[in-house]
Structure 1
């Protein structure tokens, strides 16, 4: 019994373990609170010192000046050579249309041009003929004038003979037969003179008519050649229009880009102006960043912009610049604008689109597509 040891009782030096854990936990909470205060202070300092240097928004989307491919003439489609998502270069053939009617129209226009050229040559030749006829009429006038002069001389001689015999007949020196012969000769000479004068007048009228015809013909060809004649030029313009319509039977890409919204099918009868497809110029994209109206105080054209895309994440940063600010908010240009003059009006913060140009080299390295979401940060420190 004496050798049996009694159990050891705790002394006052033994530490109270639960109380020690509470103390350490309290210290950790204090340290954590201090860290939070320091972080908040740093964030506040960053806001006060650096945040004013930029404005950001995630309400930004990729856009482009999409080219609409439309035919300029009406015809059936004979071949479609592209598909959606296909990349094309400027000048590549997209669609071919049946050109049978266009070829016939071109042949008809070429025939009309040849006829116009022939008519001009014929008119020019007719003018020369009319000039020669006018010259010939002048010779006829001279001959008629000579006949008038001869008839007048005969008339004067016949009148002198008649007057002499008439005077002698009163004394009985000339018989009645001689006086009758002289009278008949005078009347014949008078008739011949009148006929010669009429023929002269007719020759002069014929000459005037020939000169008028020649002048009218010269008016058709004066100051022009076979290439500058109005009728020939009109026929040539019709031929060129027919050739242009034939060339337009082959529709080519107006820009380089990616095919989108292809709607045309082989055999379809398309009308002029009907949209067939769109081409998105992926190398010339831009971003429309919609900033709140309170963020636009310091935004100016030419300021640098950093952008990130949801497609690539924050690892790829695009560098652009502000091109300009929109002329109105989205609400102002909406299909049904808001009517704020109502009794239940509630103020809504408006957003204004800011156009940002992208670097083509960066777009080539990391392509984007129209409509993708972007986050834009404008550096306004250099305002």
Structure 2
């Protein structure tokens, strides 16, 4: 009986210990659930190059601010941001009624000046000459009457029968008659001779001046239609129908991106190694390290105002439109840029004949297929699938999969 009691006691103790152990096991597994995320070692992708390099930004080969030459209310805008336009396409139209009135006024002024010029060249009409001739005859008759009256008055004055005042009046009338005849004769002679060459030249000059005013009015009218100065893309639109467009104010920005310029700076120690017309490699990290050929088209003879580096411009073809203004590019001025991006070989995993890497983004793993151009030793060159600043897993295992959470180290 005692042995049976002892065995029962032992069994109770063992059961208690088992329950305690089970409780501890559950607690530890629950607490370790949050700490069981795999810790992975990562590597940050960075561009590599050889030789003399310079970093810069991509800018359009042409960037034009489209402005209005005249002021006016906007009647219509035919494009929006992103529209592809050709040189000469109508972009904006202004209300043109006021400018049409200026043309009408200029045309009327020209018509009046030309009529006056024609009359002057034609000379005085026969009827006008007859009238002027009659005026001369009347002046001659008046002079004879005045002379007879003076002679009679002079005789009376000499005999003492006429006062000096009355003789003076007769003398004044005689002088008036002579002056009147001279004026009438001069008018007749001038009309008969016709206009002088200077008079005709002055009238012709007035017609030319008014024609210039007409051309100016037509030019202002034509400028109410605003056309694209280049072929390209509308990058910015600053105007809408109904708004007032001021002369010289920018309405739109049109850029030509078929070719782009990489604007970079080179230190004073290296600037003499850069030659205009030389071919260089241009590497764009945001395009997976794609390498393109460019031509140095400008090397500044003066340095930046705030540094000792010298600006350069490299022209690059962009027919496919992949290059955008503001992208960062690396210009390899000496040596040759490597096509693609080098990453550690241990980061590449092969599945079903394809290569993959695991990229970590906010502690979440993403499986990314990559294109490998060359694998040599510790480094593999990838031409597609990665870009600068990507964080990739080194030595990935089969336990990783798309969407796995990890602790990056």
TM-score (norm 2): 0.55
| Most deviating of 114-123 and 235-244 | 114-123
1:353 aligns with 2:329: no
Structure holding more strand per residue: 2
The 3-state SS of whatever aligns with 2:88 is coil
Q: Which of residues 58, 62, 65 in structure 1 aligns to 2:59?
A: 62
Offset of residue 372 of structure 1: 2.0
Q: Cα deviation per residue 1:310-346 (whole Å; 9 max; x = unaligned)?
A: 34343341231242225221516xxxxxxxxxxxxxx
Structure 1: distance between partners of 2:176 and 2:55:
105
Q: Cα deviation per residue 1:222-241 (whole Å; 9 max; x = unaligned)?
A: 3478xx432x1222222222
CA contact (8 A) 1:59 1:291 kept: no
Q: Which residue of 1 aligns with 2:239?
A: 264
Closer, same or farther: CA 292–221 of 1 in aligned 2, 3 Å: same
Offset of residue 296 of structure 1: 1.5
CA RMSD of aligned residues (A): 4.7
Q: Which runs of 5+ in 2 are unaligned?
A: 1-48, 152-172, 337-409
Q: Which residue of 2 aligns with 1:99?
A: 96
The 3-state SS of whatever aligns with 1:297 is helix
CA contact (8 A) 2:277 2:295 kept: no
Q: Cα deviation per residue 1:154-207 (whole Å; 9 max; x = unaligned)?
A: x9xxxxxxxxxxxxxxxxxxxxxxxxxxxxxxxxxxxxxxx9998676434422
Q: Which residue of 2 aligns with 1:183?
A: none
Q: Which residue of 1 aligns with 2:284?
A: 309
CA contact (8 A) 1:137 1:207 kept: no
Structure 1: distance between partners of 2:262 and 2:220:
38
Q: Which residue of 2 aligns with 1:36?
A: none
Offset of residue 282 of structure 1: 1.5
Structure 2: distance between partners of 1:265 and 1:241:
27
Q: Cα deviation per residue 1:27-52 (whole Å; 9 max; x = unaligned)?
A: xxxxxxxxxxxxxxxxxxxx9xxx7x
Offset of residue 77 of structure 1: 1.0
CA contact (8 A) 2:283 2:329 kept: yes
Closer, same or farther: CA 372–131 of 1 in aligned 2, 3 Å: farther
1:364 aligns with 2:319: yes
Offset of residue 116 of structure 1: 2.0
The 3-state SS of whatever aligns with 2:318 is helix
Q: Which of residues 220, 229, 232 in structure 1 aligns to 2:205?
A: 229
Structure 2: distance between partners of 1:219 and 1:137:
27
Rg comparison, structure with higher value: 1
Offset of residue 356 of structure 1: 2.0
Give the alignment of 1:174-189 within 5 angstroms: none
Q: Which of residues 185, 188, 203 in structure 2 aligns to 1:207?
A: 185
Give the alignment of 1:1-383 within 5 angstroms: 54-125=51-122, 132=129, 136=133, 202-211=180-189, 217-218=195-196, 221-223=199-201, 228-230=204-206, 232-331=207-306, 350-358=308-316, 362-379=317-334
Offset of residue 370 of structure 1: 2.3
Closer, same or farther: CA 377–108 of 1 in aligned 2, 3 Å: same
Structure 1: distance between partners of 2:75 and 2:180:
70
Offset of residue 247 of structure 1: 1.2
Q: Which runs of 5+ in 1 are unaligned?
A: 1-46, 156-194, 333-349
Structure 2: distance between partners of 1:120 and 1:99:
32
CA contact (8 A) 1:89 1:253 kept: yes
Structure 2: distance between partners of 1:83 and 1:288:
28
Structure holding more helix per residue: 1
Structure possessing the higher relative contact order (Cα contacts under 8 Å, 6 or more residues apart): 1
Closer, same or farther: CA 117–321 of 1 in aligned 2, 3 Å: same
Closer, same or farther: CA 263–357 of 1 in aligned 2, 3 Å: same
Count of aligned positions: 278
Structure 2: distance between partners of 1:330 and 1:370:
23
